[in-house]
Amino acid sequence: MTQRRAIALIDDDALVRSSMTSLLRSFGLSVRAFDSAVAFLELDPSQWDCLISDVHMPQMSGLDLARRLFESHPSLPIILITAFPDAGVHEQAGGTRRVLEKPCAPEAIQEALETFLGPL
């Protein structure tokens, strides 16, 4: 039996967290959702196979989180999601592997995850 891959999902919007969690679980993934980057950082980031985070959040942005994790956990795949895409987000994303625009089509999320995790 294949071990379920663990995804950390960070978004300050409860509705987005709920719908994304359902989608990711439908792909056969294990998901833990966090309402902030600060809450996520209370746990060991190395336990996750991939991180999906909103860009614009209070306390710590997804961009700040990605930069921090790129230094401490450079092999952790990070997917950033933003409702306000622009060239600046892509430039500031640093080591982020993928930036997607909200709302994200399920196929786009699946394709991004499969890039890092293999077939779902």
- Residue 59: inside a domain: yes
Condensed to tens digits (0 to 9), the pLDDT of residues 85-116 reads 666 665 666 655 788 988 899 999 999 999 99
Q: Which domain holds residue 102?
A: 6-115
Beta bridge partners of 32: 8
**Chain segment 27-79, per-residue pLDDT in tens:** 999 999 999 999 999 999 999 999 999 999 999 999 999 989 988 999 999 99
Q: Is residue 106 part of a domain?
A: yes
Q: Count the domains in the chain.
A: 1
The count of other CB atoms within 10 Å of the CB of residue 86 is 9
pTM check: above 0.75: yes
Residues 108 and 99: beta-carbon distance below 8 Å: no
Q: For 63, how many CA atoms within 13 A lie in the half-sphere containing its CB?
A: 12
With respect to residue 1, please indicate whether it lies within any of the assigned structural domains.
no
Report helix, strand or coil for 83: coil
Residue 22: its pLDDT value, please? 98
